[in-house]
Structure 1
């Protein structure tokens, strides 16, 4: 196209317009701290059927569990109202990443997850166990690492991450929920189900005939944290960590976990071995 005065002016205006609007498209979304301050609400992910972490009363719609109680305490610390958003362990990372929820309590910070979301400091250290069918006995994790052993886990969970890492040769069956994995164990489809101790002790209290708990060697623990959307403004992350420091130091985290274990699933504090600390 020939360069004349009219074309030069039109092209100059077009380039100027692109420069002007460019920053708008690259602008970061509203920070979590700013959104909570603006709305007065914090959106927390909740997973139904994950008692004693989360459980929902279908008649009243009320959420209960130790992560629920801790979530309410976090909201109180931030002077905000809780808005519960139902999700699953498999979808929670995406819900945090896409700003559907402000954070997810109870999320394990695996390397893959750290690439897409940020994490607070640990709420507590979780201890991995195995619920094995009757007659299936072993002492070490490596004894499960064979194709003849069928292991059930809930997809996308810390259990899934663990068996993927340490049991590459085992036959892993992945289910949408922890309850579905438990049904597979009940029906004899699998030999065992990997669960953190808070879930395995609750399961054995509810279904004592399903099998027995094994604490394989060596100990496999993982931190349980709060998953937070990646963002430049770290105000929200800093606030969550400040709340956590206070909650751990005061004994609130430990007392909240133990009281919910007793009230919701009938597991007394004496059920936990000495190596388990909250």
Structure 2
């Protein structure tokens, strides 16, 4: 008799545990359902919050009149238009980009953002828009001196980079012996090379090719053979699958219809 009572109590406890587990699972599912996707937030608010640095031509540049321009700026406006929304620009810096994103200051971050595993830890990336990579930007008169990492990684070589971001990270990782200066302005930094206040700037091939058009004294070295592989993509909040699928589909259609190529041609030249 005692054994039957114990068995009955044991079954009752098991049922209570099962009910508790089921209730917890329902709460978890309910929480996921209630967490509104950025897709729905943008559709309801009619506002697309975009984090961008505004200092990285040809992707994102804040003009003196307070207006943004660039390849990714035009793409952000296209994304907002597809949702019947307007863009709200959220200024950020390369040093604070990840922190601003984790703090949920924006729905998407763009403006020449490079894909890195460190950024992937706190955010998702939409499908990559293209392959890029780190190359030296130098005075054309000195281009024979700075063709390789070995040539640049010398104490007498003055490397200049904007603070934060992947350019500085590359120098710390691959050029530890070079003399590094962190410059406060990513727009006027190129004049430092022209004025011989620095020798080399490591940057993405796309930026180097763009800037050499505006600074005839500067040359982008070996853009077809970068020192480090890279990709450009838009950062989106982690764990928001509905938003990622929408952004990816919008990018796919923009590429397939030629809209992206038409915008990119204005800033990068013909996209192959």
TM category (shorter chain) comes to: 0.7 to 0.9
The correspondence for 1:34, drawn from 24, 40, 52, is: 40
Residue of structure 2 in register with 1:56 after alignment = 62
Note the C-alpha offset of 1:223: 0.6
Q: TM-score, normalised by structure 1?
A: 0.75
Question: Structure 2 unaligned runs (5+)?
Answer: 1-26
1:100 aligns to 2:105 (yes or no): yes
1:247 aligns to 2:254 (yes or no): yes
- Within 1, Cα distance between the matches of 2:45 and 2:52? 20
Residue of structure 1 in register with 2:119 after alignment = 113
Q: How does 1:154-169 map to 2 (within 5 A)?
A: 154-169=162-177
Give per-residue Cα distances to partners, 1:83-140, cap 9 Å, x unaligned. Answer: 1122222222222111111111232121211112221110211243321133252332
Residues 117/175 of structure 1: CA separation in 2 closer, same or farther (3 Å cut): farther
- Within 2, Cα distance between the matches of 1:177 and 1:157? 13
Give per-residue Cα distances to partners, 1:176-219, cap 9 Å, x unaligned. Answer: 3323532432332321112223322232222213x322117853
Q: TM-score, normalised by structure 2?
A: 0.77
Question: Would the aligned equivalents of 1:174 and 1:181 in 2 still touch at CA under 8 Å?
Answer: no
- Within 2, Cα distance between the matches of 1:244 and 1:120? 8
- Within 2, Cα distance between the matches of 1:110 and 1:244? 20
Residue of structure 2 in register with 1:153 after alignment = 161
Give per-residue Cα distances to partners, 1:206-263, cap 9 Å, x unaligned. Answer: 2213x322117853331101111223x31111111111112222233232112134xx
Rg larger for? 2
1:132 aligns to 2:138 (yes or no): yes
Residue of structure 2 in register with 1:236 after alignment = 243
Higher mean C-alpha deviation, range 126-135 or range 105-114 = 126-135
State the number of aligned residues: 238
SS at match of 1:179: coil
Note the C-alpha offset of 1:44: 0.9
Residue of structure 2 in register with 1:73 after alignment = 78
Question: Would the aligned equivalents of 1:153 and 1:173 in 2 still touch at CA under 8 Å?
Answer: yes
Give per-residue Cα distances to partners, 1:60-79, cap 9 Å, x unaligned. Answer: x3321111111111112233
SS at match of 1:107: coil
Residue of structure 2 in register with 1:194 after alignment = 202
Question: Would the aligned equivalents of 2:143 and 2:221 in 1 still touch at CA under 8 Å?
Answer: no
Residue of structure 1 in register with 2:20 after alignment = none
The correspondence for 2:93, drawn from 80, 88, 91, is: 88
Considering only aligned residues, what root-mean-square deviation do their CA atoms show, in Å?
Answer: 2.6
